[in-house]
């Protein structure tokens, strides 16, 4: 795997961390999304070239040890329009997840994870940002739970599931509640309509395969009717030959089998097979 030219290309690119100034968390070109993909396919912190990337990441962090990225929030969106190093729950959990998944155990990791975990409310996480961004927050009520922040924090805390069980269950229930009320509630302008339901990789934004991938790791909600509804939407997209084909793609990832919509994607098929395996010994979702 490490000899694959595409993997080597990503590792070489990430040595130039932090990459482009962050202006959109949805951009598939952001380095932290590429870092998370490397973690997802099994790249480890002691693999050749990876420690150099981690060293660069840890050059920029706040007093809590939370990695920071160069950001520029336009004045029209409530920011200053100036570049500053900061973090938000749209990015920091993904970086910490990738580092943890890769086996990185730096001294600042436990404090950073604990600090973000403590931001959990009764309905999970809202839009939280570092002090450098002042009172800025995304387009929604500050009391609303942010669907994307909940998803990313769930993903991070599931690496340490026994320690953060209450927070995990709280956030999972909020995601299920948002699904149940998807026609009427759209906090922070996150919709769960047709685009949400399209199969799309890698795990970057708020979409059905990303949400189900994370929720499937929580046994307590496997039998939940709302979770089953999402699962069945995915299963119903299976082709007669037992494959799955991407329905939406990121052009940045067109070198990968999930970066096109004509042929089955082995990576997408693997992700769904793994989800099925997590469910098979706990609840038969097809019944």
pLDDT at residue 124 tops 80: yes
Confidence of residue 128 (pLDDT cuts 50, 70, 90): confident
Please tell me which residue, 25 or 274, carries the higher pLDDT value: 274
Q: What is the mean pLDDT of residues 33-38?
A: 98
Q: Are strands 84-86 and 69-71 parallel, antiparallel or unpaired?
A: antiparallel
Token pair for 186: 């759209």
Chain segment 218-244, per-residue pLDDT in tens:
999 999 999 999 999 999 999 999 999
Chain segment 79-92, per-residue pLDDT in tens:
667 788 999 999 99
Please provide the average confidence, as pLDDT, over all residues in the chain. 91
Q: Which residue has the tokens 């669907």?
A: 147
* pLDDT value, residue 77: 61
Per DSSP, the residues of 12-25 read HHHTTTT-S-BS-T
Of 6-20, 57-71, 182-196, 209-223, the least confident: 182-196
Q: Kindly report the number of other CB atoms within 10 A of residue 242's CB atom.
A: 9
CA–CA dist 272, 264 (Å, integer): 13
Q: Kindly report the number of other CB atoms within 10 A of residue 162's CB atom.
A: 6
CA–CA dist 217, 14 (Å, integer): 28
Q: Kindly report the number of other CB atoms within 10 A of residue 276's CB atom.
A: 15
pLDDT at residue 6 tops 70: yes
Confidence of residue 99 (pLDDT cuts 50, 70, 90): very high
pLDDT at residue 285 tops 50: no
CA–CA dist 74, 251 (Å, integer): 25
Chain segment 187-208, per-residue pLDDT in tens:
767 888 899 999 999 999 999 9
Confidence of residue 286 (pLDDT cuts 50, 70, 90): very low
CA–CA dist 168, 32 (Å, integer): 23
Percent of the chain at pLDDT above 70? 92
CA–CA dist 199, 248 (Å, integer): 6
* pLDDT value, residue 79: 63
Confidence of residue 78 (pLDDT cuts 50, 70, 90): low
Report residue 205: phi and psi, to 5°. -115, -170
Assess whether the previous peptide bond of 18 is cis (omega < 30° from 0): yes
- Of the candidates 32, 45, 143, the residue with the CA atom closest to the CA atom of residue 88: 32
CA distances from 285 to 4, 34, 40, 219 (A): 36, 32, 25, 13
Secondary structure element (H or E) that encloses residue 85, with its range = strand 84-86
pLDDT at residue 22 tops 80: no
Q: Kindly report the number of other CB atoms within 10 A of residue 167's CB atom.
A: 20
R_g over Cα of the chain: 18
* pLDDT value, residue 24: 75
């Amino acid at each position: 795997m490490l000899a694959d030219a595409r993997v080597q290309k990503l590792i070489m690119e990430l040595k130039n961390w932090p990459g482009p100034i962050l202006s959109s968390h949805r951009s598939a070109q952001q380095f932290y999304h590429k870092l998370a993909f490397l973690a997802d396919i099994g790249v480890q912190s002691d693999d050749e070239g990876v420690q150099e990337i981690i060293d660069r990441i840890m050059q920029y962090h706040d007093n809590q040890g939370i990695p920071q990225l160069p950001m520029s929030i336009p004045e029209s969106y409530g920011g200053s329009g100036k570049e500053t190093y900061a973090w938000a729950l749209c990015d920091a959990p993904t970086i910490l997840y990738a580092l943890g998944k890769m086996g990185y155990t730096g001294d600042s990791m436990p404090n950073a994870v604990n600090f973000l975990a403590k931001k959990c409310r009764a309905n999970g996480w809202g839009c939280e940002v570092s002090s450098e961004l002042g009172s800025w927050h995304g387009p929604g009520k500050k009391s609303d739970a942010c669907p994307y922040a909940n998803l990313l924090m769930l993903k991070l805390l599931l690496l340490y599931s026994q320690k953060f069980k209450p927070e995990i269950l709280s956030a999972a229930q909020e995601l299920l509640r948002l699904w149940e009320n998807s026609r009427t509630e759209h906090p922070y302008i996150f919709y769960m309509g047709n685009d949400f339901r399209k199969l799309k990789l890698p795990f970057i934004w708020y979409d059905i395969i990303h949400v189900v991938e994370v929720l499937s790791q929580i046994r307590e909600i496997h039998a939940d009717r709302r979770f089953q509804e999402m699962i069945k939407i995915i299963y119903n997209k299976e082709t007669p030959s037992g494959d799955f084909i991407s329905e939406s793609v990121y052009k940045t990832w067109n070198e990968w089998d999930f970066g096109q919509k004509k042929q089955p994607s082995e990576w997408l098929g693997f992700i769904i097979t793994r989800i099925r395996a997590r469910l098979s010994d706990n609840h038969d979702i097809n019944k």
